[in-house]
């Protein structure tokens, strides 16, 4: 279980980086571009630390899935990007998949 707080930090950093990637306007704005590069770097570094405790497939599945859901929520709130029913159902399935992998499956232990 000790790798999961690190994984959560990696996910948060990835969401910050992706949010700033949108704000960077194709890397034409300096501050959001710099934040993007720094936070992706932190995210990958911290993700690499989680691999000491969590199998790579499980860690990556959780990191990418929760990143998708969280950045979609950021897009909805911060960038006024709409989610249709199919998108919400898909994200619900992603959440269910993450719960199966992290709570029910023995692969993450």
* Residue 68: count of CB within 10 angstroms of its CB: 16
**If you average pLDDT over every residue of the chain, what do you get?**
93
Question: Where do the domains of the chain lie?
Answer: 3-104
Check pLDDT > 80 for residue 5: yes
CA-CA distance, 55 to 70, in Å (whole number)?
22
Cα three-residue angle 35-82-64, rounded to 5 degrees: 50
Biggest CA pair distance of the chain: 45
85-109: average pLDDT: 85
Residue matched to tokens 């599945």: 61
Query: In angstroms, rounded to a whole number, what is the distance separating the alpha carbons of residues 34 and 23?
Result: 11
Indicate if the alpha-carbon torsion angle 72, 73, 74, 76 is positive or negative: positive
**CA dihedral angle for residue 46, residue 50, residue 96, residue 82, rounded to 10 degrees:** 10
Query: What is the mean predicted confidence (pLDDT) over 11-18?
Result: 98
Model confidence at 100: pLDDT above 90 = no
Per-residue model confidence (pLDDT) at position 109: 60
Q: What is the pTM of this model?
A: 0.88
């Amino acid at each position: 279980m000790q790798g999961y707080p690190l994984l959560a930090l990696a996910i948060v950093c990835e969401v910050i980086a992706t949010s700033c990637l949108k704000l960077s306007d194709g890397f034409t704005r300096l501050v959001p571009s710099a934040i993007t590069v720094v936070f992706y770097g932190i995210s990958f570094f911290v993700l690499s630390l989680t691999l000491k405790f969590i199998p790579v497939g499980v860690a990556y599945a959780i990191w990418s899935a929760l990143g998708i859901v969280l950045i979609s929520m950021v897009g909805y709130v911060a960038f006024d990007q709409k989610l249709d029913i199919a998108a919400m159902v898909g994200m619900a399935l992603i959440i269910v998949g993450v719960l199966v992998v992290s709570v029910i499956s023995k692969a993450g232990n």
